[in-house]
Amino acid sequence: MTLEALLAGLHLVAILSLVVFLSSEAALCRVEWMNAAVVRRLARLDAIYGITAVAVLLTGLARAYWGMKGGSWYWSQPLLHAKLGLFVVIGLLSIQPTLRFRRWLRTLEADGTLPAEAEIRSTRARIMLQAHLLILIPIAAVMLARGVGTR
């Protein structure tokens, strides 16, 4: 029981951390706020966001394997696959902003140029899409925990 609580707590901390860093990216990635400090901060936030995404995945897998219900139960549940599928989609959507933040930082350091408005707007739209899809994962998690659609 103590292991289950510890795993749940670690997973929750990882999830909340991911939400904080994704929200920070969404808040900062705006045309009207873009400056050299924001470009640097976005690159740093995105790196931390990536680390927290790995932490969410690892703590979630740990819960599935070492939790009370065990891996065989979790892996037979369609909602777990839906959660993981959404997580993968969000991860794929995060590739473009990550590459852009890195390119923006390289360009800024090379010649002091800030990103174009259209690129900032499209990057923010991609971040917002990630944030909105992320909302669906805890809904699926709660349904799974309550036995909705379980086998």
pLDDT at 145: 87
For residue 150, being part of any structural domain is answered with no
Please name the residue ranges forming H helices in the chain: 2-28, 36-66, 71-75, 78-93, 95-111, 117-134, 136-145
Q: How far apart are CA 81 and CA 84, in angstroms?
A: 5
For residue 61, being part of any structural domain is answered with yes
Count of domains forming the chain:
1
For residue 151, being part of any structural domain is answered with no
Six-digit token string for 60: 């979630």
Evaluate if pTM is beyond 0.85. Answer: yes
Residues 61-82 have a mean pLDDT of 91
Which residue range forms the structural domain that includes residue 94? 2-145
Per-residue pLDDT reduced to its tens digit, 79-114: 999 999 999 999 999 999 999 999 999 999 999 999
Q: How far apart are CA 96 and CA 83, in angstroms?
A: 21
